[in-house]
Structure 1
C-alpha cells in the first residue's frame, strides 16, 4: 500500500481472472496430464507410420494439407492429426491452469468418449474381436483405445465440477470475514487520485466478459448453428442421392465393426460427419444462450474445422475445380458451403482469440498505470480511450 491524498491506496495486483481457481488447480493438472498422455500415444502412432512407410518426412507434411499427396501407410487420418494437435494444445493450457482450457478439454473428453463407445459397440461382434486377434498390432490398437477411454473419463470427471465457483465463494467469505473496525483500503482499480473514476478497471473486466458472452458468443453461436444445419442438410441430400437408408448410415456411424474388415484408429466418415454436426449444434445453442463460457470449446472445434476446410480447399485447387465451369448445381452448392465454412471457422477463431474480447482487462491496465486514472474511458470490449 502507498499513501495518496491522505488515503491508503492498494497497489497490489489482483488475481488473474484467466487463471483457474485455487481449489481447481489439481483438477486442471490431472486433466492436462491425461490429455497429454493420450496425445503422445497418438503422436507415437504417427511417427510409427512415417518410419514404417516408404515416404519421407516431407511427404507426411505435404499430406497434412494436400489430400492428393502420395500416401504411404497412414495409421491416422486428417481428423486424428487435428485431434493430436488439439489434445496437446489444450493439455498445455490446462497444465498452465488457464480457465479457457476447461471447456476445450471437456469437448475433447466427450468426443473421446463417443469414439470409445463406437469401438465398444464394434467389440460386441465376434468377427471384429477376431480381427483384433489376427492383426499383429491389434493389441497395441486396443491398448490405445483403452487409454483414450480412461483419459476421457479422467478429463470429464475432473473438470465437470471445476467451474471456479468454490474459489469464488471462498474469496467472498474471506472478504466478508475481514475486520469491520478497519476501513477498507482504496484499491488501485478504484482510483486513488483526484479525477479517478471509481471501479474503472474492475468495470472494464466485467464489461469485457459481458460483451463476450452476450455479443460475440452469440455471433459465434449463430455461425455454428448455420454451419451445422447446412452440413446436416447436405448429408441428408447425399443419402437420398445414393439411395442409402438411415439405418445403414447410422450403423456405420456408431458401430466400429463396420470398417471394411480392418482394425484402425481412424474413424469412419459417417461418425466424423454426425459427431461434427452434433458438436456444431450443441455448441451453437450454448453460445447463443450465452449463459455458459464456452469460448475454449468454440476455439478448439473451430480450429479443427478450419484445418479440415483448408484441406478441402487445397483438394479443390489441385484437382482444377476452380478453373472449370459449374457443371451441376451440386458443385455450386458444395463451393458455397466450403466458402462459408472457411469464413465461419476463421471468424470464430479470430473472435475467440481476440485480446480485447477476453475478460482480463490487461490492455486498459497497461494504459492506466497502477493507480487507475479516470482519463482513460473504458469501452465494453475492454479498450481504453
Structure 2
C-alpha cells in the first residue's frame, strides 16, 4: 500500500511478507513440531548428562564456553549448538515465518546425514551388538531413529512449500545484489580456508586420511553407542559442505537462503568463540605465532570469528527493497 503525504511517499506492504502463505501453514506446523521434538530429545541428553555428572549450574555454564572447564555431559559442543538451533528454528516455523524454511531444510539435511551415518554403522554386526551392552544404547538408537524421521518429515513438507516469487524490484534486489553475495563470499572463503587446513593436517600424517573419511560416514569406525554424537570428522566435513553449498547459493543471489546463512553462522560463531576462550585460557595466542602452523591456525580462527559475526549482522538487519524511482529510508521514501 502506498500513500502520499505532501512530498513523501509512504510505502507499507499490505501483507506481512515474512509470513508463510496460508496454504503452507500445515507444512510449517509439521516441520516445527518435528524439529521441536528432536531438539527436545537432544536437550534431554544434555540435561541428563549434566545431572548424572553432578555438574553445578555455574560449572555447566562455564563448560559451555570454556573447553578446559571439564565435561558437562555426554554430548559434544556440536550437539549443544545443534539442539539450540533446532529449537530456535522450530519456534520460527511454528510462528509461520518464511525465514525458517531454508534454516529448517539445512538442519534437516544435517540431522538426516547424522542418522544415515549411524545406519551405515549398524551394517556391522559388532557395532550392532554393542548397543545391547550399553546402558543408554537403546535411547541412543531411538534418538537416531527420531532424527531420521525428523529429517524426512521436514524435507517432505517444506521442499514443496516454496514462497511465492514477487515481481519487479520489490522481489529483493537490494538483498540479491549486496547482502546475499557478501555473505556468499564470506561463506565460500571460510569453506576454502577450512578445506586447505584439513588437507594440511591429513597430509602431515597427524591422522590417516582413509580412517578420517571413513569415520565421517561410518559410525562403526568411531563407536559412540552410549550417546547420539557424530564425531569430529563428520562435524568438520558437514561444516565444509555447508559453507560451500550455502555460500554458492547465496553468491547466486538466492534471497530464500537467508535463514540458512543465519542459523549456520550462529552455530559456527558459538564454536569459534569457544575455541577462542580455550586459546585465551591456555595462552595459545602467544605460543601459536612461533610456528607457521600455529600462525595459520590463529589466522583462520580470526577470520571465522570476523566472517560469522559479519554474516549475523548482515542477515539480521532489515532487508528491505526500495521501489523503482525512490531511495530507501526504512518505512518512508522520498521520490527522486
CA spacing shift, 1:13–1:381, aligned 2, 3 Å: closer
Partners of 1:64 and 1:383 in 2: how far apart?
43
Match of 2:215 in 1: 252
- Kindly report which structure 2 residues correspond to 1:82-97, keeping only aligned pairs within 5 A, or say none: 82-97=81-96
CA spacing shift, 1:153–1:300, aligned 2, 3 Å: same
Partners of 1:12 and 1:217 in 2: how far apart?
23
Secondary structure of 2:31's counterpart equals helix
Cα deviation per residue 1:24-82 (whole Å; 9 max; x = unaligned)?
Answer: 0110011001000110111111110111113212111111000000225x221100010
Cα shift at 1:324:
3.9
Match of 1:346 in 2: 309
Q: TM-score by structure 2 length? A: 0.90
Secondary structure of 2:284's counterpart equals coil
Secondary structure of 1:71's counterpart equals coil
Does the alignment pair 1:332 with 2:331?
Answer: no
Does the alignment pair 1:24 with 2:18?
Answer: no
Unaligned regions of 5+ residues in structure 2, if any?
Answer: 5-10
Partners of 1:318 and 1:282 in 2: how far apart?
34
Superposition RMSD on alpha carbons, in Å? 2.7
Match of 2:327 in 1: 378
Cα shift at 1:146:
0.7
Partners of 1:325 and 1:283 in 2: how far apart?
31
Cα shift at 1:283:
0.5
Partners of 1:280 and 1:48 in 2: how far apart?
32
Cα shift at 1:338:
0.4
Bigger mean CA offset, 229-238 vs 286-295: 286-295
Secondary structure of 1:293's counterpart equals helix
Partners of 2:295 and 2:276 in 1: how far apart?
14
CA spacing shift, 1:383–1:70, aligned 2, 3 Å: farther
CA spacing shift, 1:380–1:277, aligned 2, 3 Å: farther
Match of 1:226 in 2: 189
CA spacing shift, 1:85–1:131, aligned 2, 3 Å: same
Is the contact made by 1:18 and 1:99 (CA closer than 8 Å) also made in structure 2? yes
CA spacing shift, 1:26–1:236, aligned 2, 3 Å: same
Task: Give the length in aligned residue pairs.
Answer: 327
Is the contact made by 1:138 and 1:263 (CA closer than 8 Å) also made in structure 2? yes
Match of 2:121 in 1: 122
Match of 1:68 in 2: 68
Cα shift at 1:382:
7.0
CA spacing shift, 1:76–1:327, aligned 2, 3 Å: same
Partners of 1:304 and 1:58 in 2: how far apart?
22
Is the contact made by 1:213 and 1:293 (CA closer than 8 Å) also made in structure 2? no
Unaligned regions of 5+ residues in structure 1, if any?
Answer: 5-10, 173-201, 365-375
Bigger mean CA offset, 291-300 vs 318-327: 318-327
Is the contact made by 1:299 and 1:348 (CA closer than 8 Å) also made in structure 2? yes
Match of 1:178 in 2: none
Is the contact made by 2:180 and 2:255 (CA closer than 8 Å) also made in structure 1? no
Is the contact made by 2:31 and 2:90 (CA closer than 8 Å) also made in structure 1? yes
Partners of 1:147 and 1:317 in 2: how far apart?
38
Cα deviation per residue 1:341-377 (whole Å; 9 max; x = unaligned)?
Answer: 000000000000002x245x8xx9xxxxxxxxxxx95
Is the contact made by 2:182 and 2:251 (CA closer than 8 Å) also made in structure 1? yes
